[in-house]
Chain A
Amino acid sequence: MVFNSFSFLIFFPVVAIVYYLIPYRVRYIWLLAASWFFYMQWNAIYLLLLLYSTAVAYAGGRLLEKFRASGKSRICFGVCLALSFIPLIYFKYTGFIISNINNVFIGAGSFAPLDVPDILLPIGISFFTFQAAGYVIDVYRGDVEAERDPLRFALFVSFFPQLVAGPIERTKNLLPQLECRVDFDHEKARDGFWLMLWGYAMKVVIADRIAIFVDCVYDDCHEYGGVFLIIASALFALQIYCDFAGYSTIAIGAAQILGIRLMDNFDSPYLSGSVSEFWRRWHISLTTWFRDYLYIPLGGNRKGKIRKYINKLVVFTVSGLWHGAEWSFAAWGGINGLFLVAEEICSPLSKRVSAKCGALISSLPVRILKVIATFILVDLTWIFFRAQTMEEALYIISNIFHTDNWNALTDGSIFECGLDNKNFILLFLMILLLFFVDRCRKKGVQIRKKAAGLNLCLRALYTATAVVFILLFGIWGGTYNAEAFIYFRF
């Protein structure tokens, strides 16, 4: 069951209504049952994996608390963490590891290649594994106390709005909320519903519309010239943003209707003036997870410059591999790491320039140029992310600047990739709206708050118009594959 499926549109209101109708004490059990039911819609047997992750983290937390004073806690922590990651490693990386072993030893004469197993990746495994592992680390560090109620803890790991594609919640934020009494708050629920609507608009109106064009070009990239590759790559950057941020926004809105505040996952990333700023605004829950649980334990920036650069490269390469067991993902992460290291190396120079021409650097045209430059750099790395293989990514990069077919923009051939001119116009207007919303957000202006100040009739009209707009202009129905959220495959 995905957020943009008909079944979810039945499931969620039922869950929310029952949630507020039943006694407070059993609400979390209801949410847990709903969450497990939600997960079982993909493959019921994989619920065992979720239960395994929950059981390991729960038992680990209790044991760590018990052994906190003794020397056994370190061993216990290591075992718990290893046990937590075993399913993820097995399901996600077995094929990758074996095929690399084959590649390394294939030249060694008598080496018989190992069979690469075709293992179906359970949905959301990377997300709930990291959330559970984060809890174990928090308990080990003594940042939080171990949860005693196993069902409440199970809900922390399985909470359906963020179960399959995040945000990867932190123990300190989510677990205490599951213990609080929540009464229905109409204003918050309406705000949550508006958030969901914006998430749906990002997903089905923008991302899925872009996907038609991008899939057409990328699936047959050898047939298209540089102009098509440029447009498809630029649009893919927006597609992945709207797809993933759209999902996160729906998740945050749905949780808010249930009275639970999830962490923000995106904060106008494409308005960033540098790659490091981009990573502070993109997939915040994962970036901060890696920062807190990998970068800082590796030494962070406390062990000298070289070590800091190495740590950044390691973290970003691992982050790439978290996204997918392919070298192209590792390259995507590694290149982003390199950009960050380059930015660090250049920072004394840029500080000196800023000191001398501060007014110029902070002027609007220069800021716009920085945003565009950042977008281009980030977009180039997305090519590794979208391409099916490393070879395909390199082909696109080497051909993207062969722009001898500019007439594609005027002779109508651009409209032969699945989107006609009216769809392009709609897409352009929606991208402008996206930019406007992100700009408002960056400036601290919340459009939803302004809308909430309208009178009842206008508010209702605003909501109804948004619903019908999404239904009319969204890509759904017919042969549309509602399961195709990009981040589901991670």
Chain B
Amino acid sequence: MKRSLYPLIECLLVLALVTGLLFVTSRLVENKASYNKYNEFYKYGDEYEVLFSGSSHMMNMALPMELWKKYGIRSYNIGNGAETIPVTYHVIRNALDHSSPKVIVMDVFYAYSDQTVSDSTSEMAHAFFDEVPFSFHKAEAICDIFEDAQERWNYLFDFSIYHSRWNELTKADLFPEDAGLGGASILLESYAPAGTQTDPPELHEMARVPREYLMKIKELCDEKGIRLVCVMNPYPMWQEKRTCNVDFEKEMNEMGIEFIDLRESDAVDIYADSADNMHLNLCGERKINDVYGEYLTGIGCGGDHDPSDEIWKGRYEAYIRKKAMYLSGCDECVQLLTDLNDPDMVYDITVGEDAALTDTMRRMLKNAKDYENVSIATADVPDGDIRIRVRIRGADRDLVDKSFDL
């Protein structure tokens, strides 16, 4: 080899090594939230017939594993917290590069907002962008969403913000795991709404930006032969204050988009099924999932799948283990009560005679009276006011056995 080529070889070697080392270190230090959320989706993208998309109102709502178990629907929840309609457009566009669903169910909560990204929570878009493979599409999406050059840079090369995580690395960073929830998030929390509005809501026009992007999403779905169904999920603040209201019936009709308004749905008990003022808890999520399940099977989803599919069965068992992990980590009585309608768990609840139950707890227990997996007894509880024992269905040992002082 000519010696004059050595400098060139050295430069190329350095470049190759820097690229390789940077790739490894950036994977190591990246925030794993996006990986946990999307890794499963990128691995099995082809399998999904339904995608749930949108803001936290969808992320904390559709439970793909339970939809599979109960209705045979193979779905994935690609929604993210504080996700505006423009971001949802890019999430869907990216998702369609990796999967071919028949239906997309999209939450349109952010249709009231004219922003491309929510000001106060713009960093939450990392949950989506971080795991998107580097591509022209990604760069285009980032430039479309963010105006600030620094922010664009941070999203395009997230190593620039995550490199400082080197001192926070744990075993989970070295060996990251799929979240195992089908992209969903479950809320074991409780919230008591301040009251219910009975006045008819004042209707507003949809803002220009979400309308423009909704049209883009519709065009994208039409082009690929995908059925787009927009929904407004229930959230307590709607009942309390009628916030963020858009005249969806009119707007969606004009755009030719199918729309389902679940805000006033009888399926949920807003006083027992709320996690906070914007979201439902796990019990409420499950109730709305039944609405989704009925609707989706009604339009031909799920029926032709075999629920005994071994791979999905394995995933479902992992999902049960995940739920069990969450439940055993609960240190408040009310958290456990948000899972009473879980078909995979068996609850034995003993309530002390003079237990100072809150109104929300009473309501949760009242609603659970008809559940076949829950038995409620009134008796003395030696260590507190209420004793809750939880067992995975079919297991011979309790997962949780805790007494709580109220």
Contacts and interface: CB of A to CB of B under 8 A. Distances in A.
Given A464-B17, A467-B18, A478 B166 contact: no
B160 interface: yes
Given A464-B14, A477-B161, A478-B154, A471 B22 contact: yes
Given A190-B10, A477-B160, A477-B161, A472 B154 contact: no
Nearest to B21: A468
B209 to A, nearest CB: 27
Given A186-B7, A456-B6, A478 B14 contact: no
A290 interface: no
B10 A456 contact: yes
B35 interface: no
Contact of B160 (A459, A464, A473, A478): A478
A352 interface: no
B124 interface: no
B25 A468 contact: yes
A interface residue count range (under 10 / 10 to 19 / 20 to 34 / 35 or more)? 20 to 34
Nearest to B169: A422
A465 interface: yes
A306 interface: no
A474 B161 CA distance: 11
A460 B14 contact: yes
Given A463-B14, A478-B154, A456 B160 contact: no
A151 B22 CA distance: 42
Contacts of B218: none
Given A456-B13, A460-B13, A464-B14, A477 B164 contact: yes
Q: Is the interface of B mostly helix, strand, loop or mixed?
A: helix
Interface string A351-381: 0000000000000000000000000000000
A478 B164 contact: yes
B17 to A, nearest CB: 3
Nearest to B13: A460
Interface in B1-19: 6-7, 9-10, 13-14, 17-18
Interface residues of B, number: 21
A302 to B, nearest CB: 52
Contacts, number: 60
Nearest to B153: A6
A475 interface: yes
B308 interface: no
A457 B25 contact: no
Given A464-B18, A478-B161, A472 B10 contact: no
A283 B114 CA distance: 54
Interface string A404-422: 0000000000000000101
A460 B166 contact: no
Contacts of A473: 163, 166
Interface in B125-167: 153-154, 159-161, 163-164, 166-167
Contact of B29 (A6, A456, A460, A472): A472
A461 interface: yes
Interface string A433-467: 00000000000000000000000110111011101
A289 interface: no
B13 A468 contact: no
B9 A456 contact: yes
A439 to B, nearest CB: 28
A420 B14 contact: no
A66 B342 CA distance: 98
Nearest to A426: B167
27 contacts: A6-B153, A186-B6, A186-B7, A186-B10, A190-B10, A422-B166, A426-B167, A456-B9, A460-B13, A461-B17, A464-B17, A464-B18, A464-B21, A467-B14, A467-B18, A468-B21, A468-B25, A472-B29, A472-B163, A472-B166, A476-B160, A476-B163, A477-B154, A477-B163, A477-B164, A478-B154, A478-B160
Interface of A: 6, 186, 190, 420, 422-423, 426, 456-457, 459-461, 463-465, 467-468, 471-478
